[in-house]
Structure 1
Amino acid sequence: MKLKSTLLAAALLLGGNIYAQQHSEQDHSKYVAPTDPLVKEKLSKWQDVKFGLLMHWGTYSAWGIVESWSLCPEDEGWCERRGPHSHDWFEYKKAYEDIPKTFNPVKFNPERWAQAAKNAGMKYLVFTTKHHDGFAMFDSKYTDYKITNTPFKSNPKSNVTKEILAAFRNQGFMTGTYFSKPDWHTDTYWWPYFPPKDRNVSYDPKKRPEIWNKFKDFTYNQIEELMTDYGSVDILWLDGGWVRPFSTIDPNISWQKTIPYDQDIDMARIAKMARSHQPGLLVVDRTVTGEFENYVTPEQSIPDHYMSIPWESCMTMGDSWSYIPKENFKSAQKLVHTLVDIVAKGGNLLLNVAPGPDGEWHEEAYQRLEEMGKWMSINGVGIYETKPLAPYRAGKWAYTKKGSTTYAFYLAEAGEKLPATLKPEGLTLAANAKINLAGNKKALKLKAGTIEIPTKTATEIGQQPAYLFVIN
């Protein structure tokens, strides 16, 4: 992701808040809807599935640090270096880039991940094939800095991107490839002649077009590998929004004003190539408003209002995007409320879980997904293939619809049981409306717009993070 911090609680808050702010500053009124019929069809399908899994995984997990950002020579909390090499950037970068010599995720089992995600009700995947540090989690022939050039290379599943996409595809998932446009390892981005000053390219591409063109080709070639050698792909999810044409910089957005150079990698060429191999591919060039941002991606934040354009909140299950030994996972109730809030406002939730250096998740992550799955198995009817319904969110209520059916979610407080009566806030109910709770066919009575809930029905439903009323 873009601005991250995992090493200190304060840095976590700083990085997360700043990054969320950067995305919230984007002018979504300039969204450009796709015109390609196949892309429109894919986008509609994606909007129906609602709930996806994001995984940040790379060699940085071996140190339990923020993904890539400790390499960035910026004086920010999320770029802070730790450990014996932290005093010297060059020494640190060398030590960081030596991690692959010992990286060996022997517990890698993507089938377990896919099954857990499916059981949770997730229906699409985005996997980090390459983060800003340039380490390829796929068998790229354009670099030696890759997963298949580690001690794990002798494992038959060493090309982890291929294995992950296949495992999730076999469970019926839509699949997506996260790919970082900047690459801090390749010498055509951080050119060794000029040491990097920040996250940006270390030279002026206008003054060194021959180097920049090599970088453009390198990027194009690696993306083409992902689009041709890894089965069907539904989403190309591009991160690193500072790599963009200078003409796309919005002077009203604070972080974009710090971009010093035009970094145009020719998205039209990339998208055309990618869709020639993957017809209907969704291209998500994050924060670069235009025809190559098929949906927008607020990060670690939820818009405070309904948005009519396609969008997705990408958020962490814990505090960190990347693996840390002791994670602070959100409660199942918090995660369910997050999903409902997002869907009611017209978006999707892409929830991040980070594998560790051994190739396994925290067991608590599996527990959270299992808890969400239990709720989704009963209440998913009000999530999948639904549309937002005004007033979308009102107090502790959230609304969706499908055809003539209204779904009213009551977002309970921790430990809250169903009360004897509830009145959906901001929603007018017909006097003859037929109402029942999801998972219970018992018809509920309606009196003066208030739903009456018998004690027996409340007991049968049990305690839930959110209660779904089905209204016809």
Structure 2
Amino acid sequence: MKVIRLVFFLCLLLTQRLYAQTPAQQSLSAFMNDRFGLFIHWGPVTLRGTEIGWSRDKEVSKEEYDSLYKEFDPVLFQADAWVKTAKDAGMRYLTITARHHDGFCLWPSKYTDYNISHTPYKKDILKALQTACKKQGIKFCIYYSVLDWHHPDYPIHSAHHAKLDPQADMQKYIAYMKNQLKELIDNYDPYMLWFDGQWESPWTDAMGKEIYAYVKRLKPGIITNNRLGKQFAAMENKEINAADMVGDYDTPERVVGRLNMTMPWESCFTLCQQWAWKANDQMQPLQKCLAILSKTAGGNGNLLLNIGPMPDGRIEARQVARLKEIGDWLKINGDAIYNTAGGPYEATNNYATTRKGKNIYLHILNTDTASYLLPALPGALVKSAHTITGQPVTVNTSNKGLEVQLPESLRRQLQYVVVLELDKDAMTLPVVK
């Protein structure tokens, strides 16, 4: 009997080890359950209102752009207010451009003078945000570009004149990167690192793998996006093989990613048109923001929605108001977003679906119509249906599929959610096209 018990215990222990998640896998699972985060592009370039990084050597000369930090004094910056804006929007993590392609650092890095401590403002932006995020229960994440047009050892010094500098030294530059990444991890303990800028020719997948392994050694539980390597969905929404990625999740840009139940992904969009602040920049309508959020969750991905604060450190009041409108919608409909899986239906311009437990959440994006006809659910029955606020909804099943009769009172209103309660676990359903 003792031998049987011992064998049983060893088998149980082996099973637990086989199925136990690593710290990074646990971090990634929690991150993907969050579904919604705030992206922030900010730096001295806001003094000119042009795009961060990309306007250097174009709308703004290199000499002028690289001197803007001497004027940068965001005296109205309040980290608690920024984080509260994210929290009020229903966001659960925040990602800040600690260093964009222009090389300027929002923290007092020991490895370059081109940083916040050499501005009139002087104070550590990252530390203030990290402290505010911790206080308000928001995951603190850091954007870090792998290219740096300002650094002498990075071979390209302008996005618009990509001639390689023979005096540059990529090995010295990678050592510089490692020093800064260690500084960021040691001093600010980011939940996630969001890399970018890996498309230029000096950067290789081998370098990306080296940096990926390095940051994992520094902090085993940290996660990164896949922009350390060349394989990523980008604006073309390319279909990629997860095995070819350098990183933990894919990053479509300004487009909702493909429905994928196995490979994690996060789409980034801008609330206005430009990533960095621009005066009178056109802002996205609320309905479009909500549709992007629902379609993203419906595809089993996260949404990283970007804002660009003003030169004085404030987020524009109109942007704060729009984000709060999203948060107000999530207070009612958050069960259909957070901790859900995508599918089982692929999103359309009319609807998206998420699922959790025995529920399918049908996101009604087009509220002009009186009914939706959905494909049949194989092996599952809809026991009842109602809006997420409890208003009854009629669902008729036929050989054509599921006909969902939408409430007349909600016609031509803001998008809303219908809950389809099933007789089985919704996660057992295959993707229905």
TM-score range, shorter chain: 0.7 to 0.9
- Residues of 2 paired with 1:102 and 1:136: CA distance? 15
- Residues of 2 paired with 1:337 and 1:266: CA distance? 37
Change (3 A) 1:196 1:301: closer
Q: In the alignment, does 2:239 pair up with 1:297? A: no
Q: Pick one of 33, 50, 67 that aligns with 1:98.
A: 67
Q: Secondary structure at the match of 1:144?
A: coil
Confirm or deny: 8 A CA contact 1:180 1:238 kept in the other structure: yes
- Look up the match of 1:188: 153
Bigger relative contact order (CA 8 A; separation at least 6): 1
Which structure 2 segments of 5+ residues have no match?
A: 1-19, 232-243, 423-433
Confirm or deny: 8 A CA contact 1:412 1:466 kept in the other structure: no
- Residues of 2 paired with 1:189 and 1:137: CA distance? 19
- Residues of 2 paired with 1:357 and 1:340: CA distance? 32
Q: Pick one of 28, 38, 42 that aligns with 2:23.
A: 38
Q: Pick one of 392, 401, 426 that aligns with 2:375.
A: 426
CA RMSD of aligned residues (A): 2.7
- Look up the match of 2:76: 107
Q: Secondary structure at the match of 1:69?
A: coil
The total of aligned residue pairs comes to 385
Q: CA deviation at 1:307?
A: 6.1
Q: Pick one of 369, 380, 389 that aligns with 1:439.
A: 389
Q: In the alignment, does 2:309 pair up with 1:352? A: no
Q: CA deviation at 1:265?
A: 7.4
Q: Secondary structure at the match of 2:346?
A: strand
Q: In the alignment, does 2:124 pair up with 1:146? A: no
What does 1:441-460 correspond to in 2, within 5 Å?
442-448=391-397, 449-452=402-405, 458=409
In the TM superposition, what whole-angstrom CA distance separates every residue of 1:133-163 from its partner, at most 9, and x where no partner exists?
110011101111111111101xxxx100111
Q: In the alignment, does 2:410 pair up with 1:469? A: no
- Residues of 2 paired with 1:452 and 1:198: CA distance? 54
Percent identical pairs in the alignment equals 29
- Residues of 1 paired with 2:159 and 2:304: CA distance? 32
What does 1:297-446 correspond to in 2, within 5 Å?
297-303=251-257, 305-306=259-260, 308-394=262-348, 396-413=350-367, 416=368, 422-428=371-377, 433-440=383-390, 442-446=391-395
Confirm or deny: 8 A CA contact 2:259 2:298 kept in the other structure: no
Confirm or deny: 8 A CA contact 1:397 1:424 kept in the other structure: no
Q: Which amino acid aligns with 2:44?
A: T
- Residues of 2 paired with 1:382 and 1:201: CA distance? 49
Change (3 A) 1:431 1:138: closer
- Residues of 1 paired with 2:116 and 2:210: CA distance? 27
Q: CA deviation at 1:190?
A: 4.6
- Residues of 1 paired with 2:332 and 2:373: CA distance? 20
Greater alpha carbon shift after TM alignment, 265-274 vs 290-299:
265-274
Change (3 A) 1:422 1:98: same
- Look up the match of 1:6: none
Q: In the alignment, does 2:129 pair up with 1:168? A: no
Confirm or deny: 8 A CA contact 1:394 1:425 kept in the other structure: no
- Residues of 2 paired with 1:330 and 1:424: CA distance? 29
Confirm or deny: 8 A CA contact 2:89 2:328 kept in the other structure: yes
- Residues of 1 paired with 2:25 and 2:342: CA distance? 19
Q: CA deviation at 1:343?
A: 1.1
Q: Secondary structure at the match of 1:434?
A: strand
Q: Which amino acid aligns with 2:36?
A: F
Q: Which amino acid aligns with 1:288?
A: K
- Residues of 1 paired with 2:98 and 2:194: CA distance? 10
Change (3 A) 1:67 1:453: closer
Which structure 1 segments of 5+ residues have no match?
A: 1-34, 73-79, 83-91, 244-258
